[in-house]
Amino acid sequence: MNANAKMHGLDGTLVVPDWPPLTLDEVRDLLDRFSGCGEPREILSVSPRPFSAASVVRTRGGKVFVKRQHRNVRDREGLLEEHRFIEHLRGNGAPAPQVLAARSGDTAIESGEWTYEVHEVPQGADFYEDAISWTPFRSVHHACSTGQTLAGLHRASRRYAAPARQPRPLVASFTIFAADDPAAATKRYLAARPALNSDRSIHAACDEALDLLAPFHAELKPLLPALEPIWTHNDFHASNLFWSDTSAHARTVAIIDFGLADRTNAVHDLAHAIERNVVEWLALVENPDRFDAVPVHLGDLEALLAGYESARPLGSEEAAALAPMTALCHAEFALTEADYFLGVLHSKEQSRMAVPNYLVGHARWFRSRAGEKLLNGLRRWADARKEPRRGALP
pLDDT for 245 beyond 90:
yes
| 3-class secondary structure, 100 | coil
Q: Which of 129-138, 140-149, 257-266 has the lowest mean pLDDT?
A: 129-138
Once rounded to an integer, what is the mean pLDDT over residues 219-232?
Answer: 98
Label the pairing between strands 109-111 and 252-255: unpaired
The answer to pTM > 0.75 is yes
Contact (CB, 8 A) for 160 and 249:
no
Q: Tell me how far apart the alpha carbons of residues 88 and 97 are, in angstroms, rounded to a whole number.
A: 12
pLDDT at 378: 98
Indicate where the chain has its CATH 3.90.1200.10 domain(s): 140-384
Contact (CB, 8 A) for 304 and 274:
yes
* Digit-coded pLDDT (tens) for 44-97: 999 988 899 999 999 999 999 999 999 999 999 999 999 999 999 999 999 999
pLDDT for 281 beyond 80:
yes
Q: Tell me how far apart the alpha carbons of residues 33 and 16 are, in angstroms, rounded to a whole number.
A: 31
* Digit-coded pLDDT (tens) for 284-324: 988 899 999 999 999 999 999 999 999 999 999 999 999 99
Once rounded to an integer, what is the mean pLDDT over residues 378-390?
Answer: 77
| Beta strands in the chain, from DSSP E residues, in sequence order | 7-8, 14-15, 40-43, 53-59, 62-70, 109-111, 114-120, 229-232, 241-243, 252-255, 262-265
Contact (CB, 8 A) for 178 and 226:
no
pLDDT for 351 beyond 70:
yes
What is the four-CA torsion angle of 47, 48, 52, 57, rounded to 10 degrees? 10
What whole-number percentage of the chain has pLDDT above 70?
94
| 3-class secondary structure, 77 | helix
CATH topology for 7-120?
Phosphorylase Kinase; domain 1 (3.30.200)
What is the CB neighbour count within 10 angstroms for residue 76?
15
Count Cβ atoms within 10 A of the Cβ of residue 394 and give its class: 0-12 exposed, 13-18 middle, 19 or more buried: exposed
Label the pairing between strands 7-8 and 14-15: antiparallel
Once rounded to an integer, what is the mean pLDDT over residues 321-336?
Answer: 97
The residues, ordered by sequence, that sit 6+ positions from 246 with a Cβ below 8 Å of its Cβ are: 125, 127
What is the CB neighbour count within 10 angstroms for residue 170?
20
What is the CB neighbour count within 10 angstroms for residue 260?
24
Contact (CB, 8 A) for 386 and 392:
no
Once rounded to an integer, what is the mean pLDDT over residues 337-354?
Answer: 94
Question: What does the mean pLDDT of the chain come to?
Answer: 93
CA-CA-CA-CA torsion sign (238, 173, 275, 91):
positive
Contact (CB, 8 A) for 250 and 148:
no
Q: Tell me how far apart the alpha carbons of residues 221 and 214 are, in angstroms, rounded to a whole number.
A: 10
Q: Tell me how far apart the alpha carbons of residues 192 and 189 are, in angstroms, rounded to a whole number.
A: 5
Once rounded to an integer, what is the mean pLDDT over residues 187-211?
Answer: 97
pLDDT at 186: 98
Identity of the residue numbered 99: V
What whole-number percentage of the chain has pLDDT above 90?
87
The residues, ordered by sequence, that sit 6+ positions from 156 with a Cβ below 8 Å of its Cβ are: 88, 89, 92, 93, 94
The residues, ordered by sequence, that sit 6+ positions from 222 with a Cβ below 8 Å of its Cβ are: none
Contact (CB, 8 A) for 326 and 177:
no
pLDDT for 388 beyond 50:
no
Buried/exposed 370-386: b ≥16 CB within 10 Å, e otherwise: bbeebbebbbebbeebe
Indicate where the chain has its CATH 3.30.200.20 domain(s): 7-120
CATH topology for 140-384?
Aminoglycoside 3'-phosphotransferase; Chain: A, domain 2 (3.90.1200)
In three-state form (DSSP H/G/I as H, E/B as E, the rest C), the secondary structure along 173-241 is CCCCCCCCCHHHHHHHHHHCCHHHHCCHHHHHHHHHHHHHHHHHHHHHHHHHHHCCEEEECCCCCHHHE
